[in-house]
Structure 1
Amino acid sequence: MANVEVAERPGDRLTPGSGASEDVVLVLPNAVAVLDGATSLRPGTRSGGWYAEQLAGALEPRLADPSADLADLLAGSIAEVAARFDLRPGESPSSTAALLRWDEEQVEALVLADSPIVLDTSAGVRAVTDDKLAALRSRNRGGGFRDRLRSGGGFDAGHRAALGSAMDRTSRLRNVEGGFWVAEAVPEAAAHATRARLPRREVRAALVMTDGVSCGVQDYGIFSDWSALLDAVDRGGPAAVLTEVRATEEADPRGERWPRPKRHDDQALALVRFADDTRSG
């Protein structure tokens, strides 16, 4: 029997009425899903958090079926939500998807967009990541809200305008070849997810998280690598890791050292242990 521990913390709200957090964590006896709804700057429209909640509801019965392929069940869930609410590609809210499922024989992971899964295995630490969005950002480093933050502009109204322009540009690359893939209104996006399957006997634990947590490794360097993040979770638990990431952001209140869309992003981290003992040997 796997043991699951979850920690969550809301971040800054850029749009009034978007809810306490746009991250959603679904825990089942045989699975965990972590979804990160994309922030929208358009008041009055359905938020990414709303979409993540609807997608979690569609995923729940499908994940409970151990025979269903992870990509197929994600595609079916995307299609169900799109049909129920008449969502249109390119005009709808969206969410990342990180799915972890297990039985007595195997552990499966699927990652769509930037909500990674880290597996602690007998052969070492294995990260399941989808780096398409990060690759796009690295090719477009110049200008925009990040340069504005580096120069001391801060998280003011000008930042919101610059961020909105960046989000508009990014949205044109969503769910198209050469861009990045995410859960929205295109079921085929699920086929572009990164996947892994391991024998359960080889997996000690797993971390499933949104980028409000993974930034501690990938952006801030608080944790030198994924193994260091696992060590930190072992020492203090998931909530302590969230606190450490948040403290780092509070030490950079204007985003000059680590330019980012929001001063604080929503945070969600699920720890799944497949054995009673802690990491050793």
Structure 2
Amino acid sequence: MRVSLDSLPGEEWRDNEDFAAAAPGAAVLLDGAGVAGAETGCTHGVAWFSAMLGGLLLSTITVHSARPLAECLADAIRAVRSLHENTCDLTFRASPTSTVVAVRMDAGALEYLVLGDSSLLLADRDGATTVITDRRLDDVGRRLRGPVDALPTGSPEHAAALAEYRNALTGFRNRPGGFWIAGPEPRAAEHALTGAAPLESLTSVTLLSDGATRLVDRFQLATWGETLTVLTSSGPGELLRRVREVEAGDPEGRRWPRGKSQDDATALHLVLP
């Protein structure tokens, strides 16, 4: 398996809250989140949370190869909770959370897990692509984000509307009818999208945070097939460069309304033998 990875923070002066890593036969990608403009209740912060959860999850799915991915995620969430529940307020509305994409290759199959709005891109040997994305957060967000999208990205009014929007999202987090995401509650792992695909049918597997998929799902300037072509020919760095180029041409979100002009963006591309 050949691995290529690139990741960019949304702003150079801010921590990158994405995390991605690979081990022989396994890989994970997480996109951490808090509530815009709010304290997290965690002394460690969102970047610490996503990195700690991602590292523990990768270790768990690698060591316990027969354990279902959802159970491995629940174990990792418990482990991270135990590391800071005595020092941080994990009941606070803005406590750190993270999307999760995890894959494991064993016994001729690719097992996968997707929780939150990061994506998994599978390339078949016949040239087709399959994308697995958990859209429950998007479905909730569409009902709430009208005031955000009506304002120029980066303006004080936009920042205030974005904070209000993300505060409202917490009322739908990890509950039926809302969306599910990794945070302090292990039960969220039970609601992840999981499945398997035969390894012999695949040529590559790509894990993407939502900051890296903007060319397709936000800007609609590329298809998944075209995204795969860029990854195959030039690697994750070129994909992220193209995302940043488009973002720079619309800094205020006039053409493409969005919460952040530039978001943390990560692509982990695995080419199979």
With structure 1 as the length reference, what TM-score do the two structures score? 0.88
Q: Which residue matches 2:25?
A: 30
Determine helix, strand or coil for the equivalent of 2:261.
coil
Q: Which residue matches 1:121?
A: 124
Q: Which residue matches 1:198?
A: 197
Unpaired runs of 5+ residues, structure 1, are 276-281
- Once the two structures are TM-superposed, the CA of residue 188 in structure 1 deviates from its matched residue by 1.1
- Once the two structures are TM-superposed, the CA of residue 83 in structure 1 deviates from its matched residue by 2.5
Point out the more displaced range, 120-129 or 245-254.
Answer: 120-129
Correspondences of 1:83-94 after superposition (within 5 Å)? 83-86=82-85, 88-89=90-91, 91=93, 92-94=95-97
Determine helix, strand or coil for the equivalent of 1:172.
helix
Contact kept, 8 Å, 1:89 with 1:184, in 2: the verdict is: no
Identity %: 30
Q: Letter of the aligned partner of 2:231 in structure 1?
A: V
Alignment partner of 1:166 is 2:165: yes
Q: Find the aligned partners of 2:118 and 2:17 in 1 and give their Cα distance.
A: 13
Alignment partner of 1:242 is 2:240: yes
Q: Find the aligned partners of 2:92 and 2:66 in 1 and give their Cα distance.
A: 32
1:133-174 per-residue CA deviation (whole Å, 9 max, x = no partner) reads: 1111233353x211113xxxx412222211110010011111
Contact kept, 8 Å, 1:12 with 1:263, in 2: the verdict is: no
- Once the two structures are TM-superposed, the CA of residue 181 in structure 1 deviates from its matched residue by 0.2
Determine helix, strand or coil for the equivalent of 1:110.
strand
Point out the more displaced range, 76-85 or 197-206.
Answer: 76-85
Unpaired runs of 5+ residues, structure 2, are none
1:42 aligns with one of 38, 42, 53 = 38
Q: Which residue matches 2:257?
A: 259
Correspondences of 1:87-236 after superposition (within 5 Å)? 88-89=90-91, 91=93, 92-122=95-125, 124-142=128-146, 144-149=147-152, 154-223=153-222, 225-236=223-234
Contact kept, 8 Å, 2:27 with 2:103, in 1: the verdict is: yes
With structure 2 as the length reference, what TM-score do the two structures score? 0.91
- Once the two structures are TM-superposed, the CA of residue 231 in structure 1 deviates from its matched residue by 1.3
Q: Find the aligned partners of 2:175 and 2:34 in 1 and give their Cα distance.
A: 20
Q: Find the aligned partners of 1:76 and 1:44 in 2 and give their Cα distance.
A: 22
- How many residues align? The count is 264
Change (3 A) 1:255 1:172: same
Determine helix, strand or coil for the equivalent of 1:111.
strand
